[in-house]
């Protein structure tokens, strides 16, 4: 079967790989659409230490069930539109013991620590198959990255009287904007791109700050009447945005970190103590987060089609990746149609 494969830094090709064989307790899915995410871009650029090349990327999926193996629950049937939970969990580390399987110590995500699904067919355990109802199969490829943003809002315990700033309004950040606003919070979107900020306002942000053009601290003080933010969700992964999150959150506030910074960061650690901050990591997403995104999309309250920047064929995938690498701020999601 046809697959897209990253074979070396800055080298991607369409290749033929073996079609997977369906076993008991498993589901064979026909892959229709797969999104490129930031981890795929870093893999392509040779900046992802968790990946061993060559690798088939891809874990943001819209698919259709082709066949089911023996012992699969009756609610999963051929022809159903689905997305995939792309994470594994070992079942015995401290995270799994505490029921937080999304943060498993030995997690292997599709397309990162193991081969992904940017190919024509995939076989997964039935409990990693997530039915999506009548959501268009193309839009199902947006569910996983949105769920990561939804999970960060849960980690922040956002409530309706909170003022929440989301730093970074890519796909994950937009998911955080949507869920925080759905919980009744006042959301401040912060990014360096006006197009992303406009889209953030369309899906629930009450305020926007272009950090390249405006004084972030002055704007935050104005919006919060000098109190600082109740919650900051960091969805970029740069030293500047991490420091901004700690500086701009108010006393007794919560900072939730999604992005991976590539270098060490120096903080005024006295702020951790003086503000009595809760600083929390947020990793992947839970089944509950997936269900929340699916319910949100089904509500019809949001038009998520603008989240798709481009749809390409496998043969066009490398050119699209090169374009994204040259101008990363202008891309939400590139979707590959298998």
110-134 confidence digits (pLDDT tens)? 999 999 999 999 999 999 999 999 9
Asked if 123 and 166 sit in the same domain, the reply is no
Q: What is the mean pLDDT of the chain?
A: 96
Averaged over 135-145, what is the pLDDT? 98
pLDDT range class, residue 270, cuts 50, 70, 90: very high
Position 318 scores a pLDDT of: 96
Asked if 156 and 262 sit in the same domain, the reply is yes
Position 261 scores a pLDDT of: 87
The answer to whether position 288 is within a domain reads no
Position 260 scores a pLDDT of: 87
Asked if 172 and 277 sit in the same domain, the reply is yes
Averaged over 250-261, what is the pLDDT? 96
Asked if 123 and 42 sit in the same domain, the reply is yes
The answer to whether position 232 is within a domain reads yes
Position 137 scores a pLDDT of: 98
Position 331 scores a pLDDT of: 83
Asked if 331 and 259 sit in the same domain, the reply is no
Q: Which of 281, 312, 327 is the last residue of a domain?
A: 281
The answer to whether position 142 is within a domain reads no
Asked if 29 and 103 sit in the same domain, the reply is yes
In percent, how much of the chain has pLDDT > 70?
100
DSSP-based three-state secondary structure for 120: coil
Q: What is the CATH number of the domain that holds 211?
A: 3.40.50.720
Q: Is the pLDDT of residue 329 over 80?
A: no
**pLDDT, tens digit, 9 for 90 and up, residues 12-26:** 999 999 999 999 999
Position 21 scores a pLDDT of: 97
Position 161 scores a pLDDT of: 97
Give the residue numbers spanning the domain of 6: 2-131+303-337
Going by C-alpha positions, the residue among 136, 131, 166 that lies closest to residue 150 is 166
Position 327 scores a pLDDT of: 85
Position 98 scores a pLDDT of: 97
Phi, psi of 198 (to 5 degrees): -65, -40
Asked if 123 and 170 sit in the same domain, the reply is no
pLDDT range class, residue 332, cuts 50, 70, 90: confident
The answer to whether position 44 is within a domain reads yes
pLDDT range class, residue 173, cuts 50, 70, 90: very high
Asked if 270 and 199 sit in the same domain, the reply is yes
Asked if 227 and 308 sit in the same domain, the reply is no
Q: What is the CATH number of the domain that holds 68?
A: 3.90.180.10
**pLDDT, tens digit, 9 for 90 and up, residues 24-75:** 999 999 999 999 998 999 999 998 888 989 999 999 999 999 999 999 999 9
Asked if 162 and 263 sit in the same domain, the reply is yes
Going by C-alpha positions, the residue among 105, 198, 103 that lies closest to residue 154 is 103
Q: Is the pLDDT of residue 206 over 90?
A: yes
The answer to whether position 296 is within a domain reads no
The answer to whether position 81 is within a domain reads yes
In percent, how much of the chain has pLDDT > 90?
94
The answer to whether position 224 is within a domain reads yes
pTM for the model stands at 0.96
Q: Is the pLDDT of residue 157 over 90?
A: yes
Asked if 74 and 104 sit in the same domain, the reply is yes
Position 278 scores a pLDDT of: 98
pLDDT range class, residue 267, cuts 50, 70, 90: very high
**pLDDT, tens digit, 9 for 90 and up, residues 279-316:** 999 999 999 999 999 999 999 999 999 999 999 999 99
Position 330 scores a pLDDT of: 77
The answer to whether position 172 is within a domain reads yes
Position 262 scores a pLDDT of: 82
Asked if 61 and 35 sit in the same domain, the reply is yes
Q: Cβ contacts of residue 146 below 8 Å, gap of 6+? A: 171, 172, 174, 175, 178, 293, 296, 304
Query: How many domains does the chain fold into?
Result: 2
* Two structure tokens written together for 188: 């401040």
């Amino acid at each position: 079967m046809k697959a897209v494969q990253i074979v070396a830094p800055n080298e991607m090709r369409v290749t033929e790989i073996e079609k997977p064989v369906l076993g008991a307790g498993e589901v064979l899915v026909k892959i229709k659409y797969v999104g490129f995410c930031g981890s795929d871009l870093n893999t392509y650029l040779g900046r992802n230490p968790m990946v061993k090349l060559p690798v088939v990327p891809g874990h943001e999926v819209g698919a259709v069930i082709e066949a089911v193996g023996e012992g699969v629950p009756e609610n999963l049937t051929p022809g159903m539109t689905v997305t995939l939970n792309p994470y594994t969990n070992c079942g015995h580390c401290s995270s799994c013991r505490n029921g937080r399987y999304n943060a498993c110590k030995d997690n292997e995500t599709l397309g990162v620590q193991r081969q992904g699904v940017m190919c024509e067919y995939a076989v997964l355990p039935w409990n990693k198959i997530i039915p999506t109802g009548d959501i268009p199969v193309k839009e199902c490829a947006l569910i996983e990255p949105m769920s990561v943003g939804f999970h960060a809002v849960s980690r922040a315990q956002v409530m309706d009287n909170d003022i929440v700033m989301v730093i970074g309004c890519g796909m994950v950040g937009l998911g955080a904007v949507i869920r925080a606003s759905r919980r009744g919070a006042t959301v401040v979107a912060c990014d360096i791109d006006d197009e992303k900020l406009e889209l953030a306002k369309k899906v629930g942000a009450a305020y926007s700050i272009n950090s390249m053009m405006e004084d972030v601290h002055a704007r935050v003080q104005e919006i919060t009447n000098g109190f600082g933010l109740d919650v900051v969700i960091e969805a970029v992964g740069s030293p500047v945005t991490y420091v901004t999150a700690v500086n701009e959150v108010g006393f007794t506030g919560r900072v939730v970190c999604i992005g991976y910074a590539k270098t060490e960061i120096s903080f005024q650690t006295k702020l951790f103590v003086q503000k009595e901050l809760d600083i929390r990591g947020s990793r992947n997403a839970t089944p509950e987060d997936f269900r929340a995104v699916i319910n949100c999309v089904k509500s019809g309250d949001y038009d998520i089609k603008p989240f798709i920047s481009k749809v390409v064929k496998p043969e066009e995938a490398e050119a699209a990746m090169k374009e994204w690498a040259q101008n990363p701020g202008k891309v939400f999601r590139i979707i590959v149609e298998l």
